[in-house]
A and B are shown apart, each in its own frame.
Chain A
Amino acid sequence: MIAELLPAAFTMLLVEDDSMVCRSISRILEKEYPGSTVYTAENGLIGLEKFKKYFPDIVITDINMPDMDGLEMAAEIKLIRNDTKFIVVSGYCDKEHLEKFKEIGFVDCIVKPVDFNKLFAAIDKYRPEGAGRPV
Chain B
Amino acid sequence: MNNTIVTTAISGETPRIISPIRLIARILVVLFVAEAIIMFTLPLVFHTEIDPVANFADSVMLMIVSAPFLWFLIARPLHTTAKEIERLNVNIAARAVELEMQNIELQETYHNLKVETAAHRQAMEELREKEQLLIQQSRMAAMGEMLGNIAHQWRQPLNVVGVKIQELGLSFKYGELTKELVDANISKVMEILQHMSQTITVFQDFTTPDKEKGLFKVDQVISNTIQLVDESLKKAGISLTVNSIGEQNIYGYPNEFSQVLMSMIMNAKDAFIEQDTVSPRIAVQSFTENGKSVVTITDNGGGIKEEIMDKVFDPYFTTKELGKGTGIGLFLSKTIIEKNMGGRLTVRNVDDGSEFRMEV
User: Which of A's residues lie within 8 Å of B, judged by CB?
Assistant: 18, 20-21, 24-25, 27-28, 31-32, 64, 66, 69, 91, 112-116
| Contact B162–A31 (Cβ < 8 Å) | no
Nearest A residue to B161, CB-CB: A113
Binding site for A on B (CB under 8 A): 151-152, 155-156, 158-164, 166-167, 170-171, 174, 176, 188, 234-235, 237
Specify the chain B residue showing the minimal Cβ separation from A120.
B170
Question: In the assembly, what is the distance between CA of A103 and CA of B170, in Å?
Answer: 34
Nearest opposing residue in chain A for B169, CB measure: A116
Contact A20 B159 (CB under 8 A): no
**A25 contact set on B, CB distance < 8 A:** 163
Bound complex: CA A91 to CA B152 (Å) = 8
Checking A24, A66, A115 against B167 with a beta-carbon cut-off of 8 angstroms, the contacting residue is A24
Report whether A28 and B167 are in contact in the complex, using a CB–CB cutoff of 8 Å.
yes
B238 to chain A, nearest CB (A): 12
CB pair A20–B166 under 8 Å, yes or no, is no
* 28 residue pairs A–B, Cβ–Cβ below 8 Å: A18-B156, A18-B160, A20-B160, A21-B159, A21-B160, A24-B163, A25-B163, A27-B167, A28-B166, A31-B170, A31-B171, A31-B174, A31-B176, A32-B174, A64-B235, A66-B234, A91-B152, A91-B155, A112-B155, A112-B156, A112-B159, A112-B162, A113-B162, A114-B162, A114-B166, A115-B162, A116-B166, A116-B170
Q: Which residues of A contact B167 (CB under 8 A)?
A: 24, 27-28
Contact A114 B163 (CB under 8 A): yes
Chain B min CB distance to A51 (Å): 22
In contact, B164 and A113 (Cβ under 8 angstroms): no
Q: Give the distance in Å from the alpha carbon of A27 to the alpha carbon of B168 in the complex.
A: 12
Among A27, A113, A115, max chain B CB count under 10 A is at A113
Say whether, besides A20-B188, A24-B167, A28-B170, A64 and B159 are in contact (CB < 8 Å): no
Smallest CB-CB separation from A25: which chain B residue?
Answer: B163
Q: Are B234 and A64 in contact (CB under 8 A)?
A: yes
Closest to B234 in A: A64
| B159→A113 contact, CB < 8 A | yes
Measured between C-beta atoms, what is the minimum distance from B267 to chain A in Å? 22
